[in-house]
A and B are shown apart, each in its own frame.
Chain A
Amino acid sequence: MQRQADALRRLGLFLARRLVQSIFVLFGLSILIFTIARVLPGDPARTALGARAPQETVDRLREEMHLNDTLPVQYTYWLGDALRGDFGMSLVTRRSVTTDIAEFLPASLELVIFAGVLTLVGGIALGTLSARYKDSWVDNLIRILSYAGVVTPAFIFAIIFLLVFGLALDWLPSIGRLSEGVPKPPLVTGLITVDALLAGQLATFWDALQHLIMPGVALALGSMAQEARITRATMADNLNKDYIAAERALGIPERVVMGRFLLKPSLIPTISIFALDFAANLANAFLVELIFNWPGISRYGVNAMLRKDLNAITAVILILGVVFILMNIVVDLVVGALDPRIRLRAARSD
């Protein structure tokens, strides 16, 4: 009991320290983005309302956006609003950016989580297979495929899938999150698959899942290949370690040695890279989201950039920053859970 309480206390301390760091980083990030957004030439209020809106409306909006103040003052106003969850109006959708993010982020999360599950399961499975049968044809095949996966941008996969599975074979739906006429589940998490399961709507669940497959796989292949390569390298390395020989020598069955005693120490680099890939996918998915008409946050963000939609740009980047930082904390926790040495070192440094 004493040890458990101790561990919890250490965990709490660790989290607290990371949170403080994160807040600092986010603060810096917000200044960075705010600066990028405001060096833009032109009047954001005029841009927001269009060339033909009456000048008085534009003036009112300028007032409301504090555009007549100095940049630092503008920043404090902006920060105050942002802290209250108000990022202003989006120029593209013409409504509050917060509403947009609430609508588009879950769609992206669903896609990225699905891709993440594929990445993790597929990457580790392929990597393990490759390491287990090192230098055999299985290994060589997986390695060649991994290379192809790593160097091919996701949007190229997306186009190929669409042409093959959407057009030529017509196996899978091409666009959106649900087919026409399929009832939407009640909104709980915003992830349609999860919400459908929660509501017990199996048909909706399957339909949503089918919509996820093409964009999800297109997005997953790159990181899956990366994970497979890393897993293979670590495993091949660890496979020659004495402890594996020792565990085998003790008569522990191969399946247990591979699946447990080799897997766990080999997962640490894989997990670290995975979490970063996961967060990066959230941002890099825009071409995939575009091709499959997926209403996600990264398509929204890139659209905002192309249309110089400042409020949306700043908000999207901040949100991505938050996700990125959260994932980094998760990595530290998971790696700590996997590797007691790191945990012990952290404990000593307290």
Chain B
Amino acid sequence: MLNNASQPDHAVGRSAIDPHRLAQIERRNRRERWGRAWYKFSRNPLSVLGLIMVVTITLMAIFAPFVAPYPQHAEPFTDFANASKPPGGQYLFGTDEIGRDILSRCIFGFRYALVMGVAVLSLVVPVGVLLGLVAGYFQGTIIDTIIMRVTDIFLSVPPLILALAVASVLQPNLTNAMLAVSLMWWPWYTRLVYGLASALRNEYFVVSAETIGAGTGHILFREILPNMVSPILTKMSLDMGWVVIIGSMLSFVGLGVQPPTPGLGTMVAAGARFLPDQWWIAIFPALAIVVVVLGFNLLGDGLRDLFSAEES
């Protein structure tokens, strides 16, 4: 799991005579390592597919107003004359019961899915990682006990149900849904990082940094943290998919994105009333969810393979 490959470079860096040349070497090494990594990554067509999907979805989300055929359909809009049109020429994915283009709404739906994922992870990862680092480094102390027991409490219930409980207490909207999911998600990072940190803290480079009197902050963030970047990145990529699923389930029961804002889960829930005859109203948003999750899963698996291969 651990990527110790960077360590020798690091050790050399300490005893260096010509820092300029060393920096050059390090740059070249890094370039080579990235090159090798990319080569390995690109050998697996599924990982590349995942990357392409994620990049495409992200671009579509960012440039939704330009990509979507009918961007105004993602806003309050009615066209009852074209309501519930099946997929076809003018509307590739058909229209919903209000006459809105489902393709356009799905493209905007990517936005909210990604916003949710990015917001949740950017809240959760720093907090979870920091707590895990501290608890792992101060293993056996009271700090460790407090942090990890609280973590255990959050981990003792499936995250979805707790997120639902929190979301149900708050006003239903995207922000609160993100807060609810975040509140339940950080412990998973704490636990991951805790395990890694408590293994790393006895490594020679940490011990040697301690002996030369490096500060706690330096040890935590410059010595330990860089060595767990790959598992964290992998987990983040896989988690993006999960957050999207959980977000869509919250929206499905009405606790997430509120209509007429086109949240994918909201659209599935609204479309489910028209099954099976107007299947496109529910199925395309559902497929959109699957595509997002699939993209991040493929990418995450690719990263995991890559990092685990690098380690061996």
Binding site for B on A (CB under 8 A): 21, 24-26, 28-29, 32-33, 36-37, 39-40, 147-148, 150-153, 155-156, 159, 163, 167, 279-280, 282-284, 286-287, 298, 301-302, 305-306, 308, 313, 316-317, 320-321, 324-325
Contacts and interface: CB of A to CB of B under 8 A. Distances in A.
A148 B291 CA distance: 10
B248 A33 contact: no
A305 B161 CA distance: 10
A302 B149 CA distance: 27
A290 to B, nearest CB: 9
Contact of A24 (B149, B245, B294): B149
Given A159-B272, A280-B158, 12 more contacts: A24-B149, A147-B298, A151-B241, A151-B294, A155-B252, A163-B276, A283-B157, A283-B160, A284-B161, A302-B164, A306-B254, A308-B168
Given A29-B153, A151-B294, A302-B164, A39 B169 contact: yes
A40 B166 CA distance: 10
A153 B248 contact: yes
A32 B253 contact: no
A325 B169 CA distance: 25
A320 B158 contact: yes
A324 B158 contact: yes
B104 interface: no
A324 B155 CA distance: 9
A58 to B, nearest CB: 22
Contact of B297 (A28, A151, A301): A151
B309 interface: no
Nearest to A21: B152
A151 B240 CA distance: 12
21 contacts: A21-B152, A25-B149, A25-B156, A36-B169, A150-B297, A153-B245, A153-B249, A155-B252, A163-B276, A167-B276, A280-B158, A284-B161, A287-B252, A301-B161, A305-B165, A306-B254, A316-B161, A317-B157, A321-B157, A324-B158, A325-B156
Contacts of A279: 158
* Max chain A Cβ within 10 angstroms of own Cβ: one of B156, B165, B166: B156
Contacts of A313: 165, 168
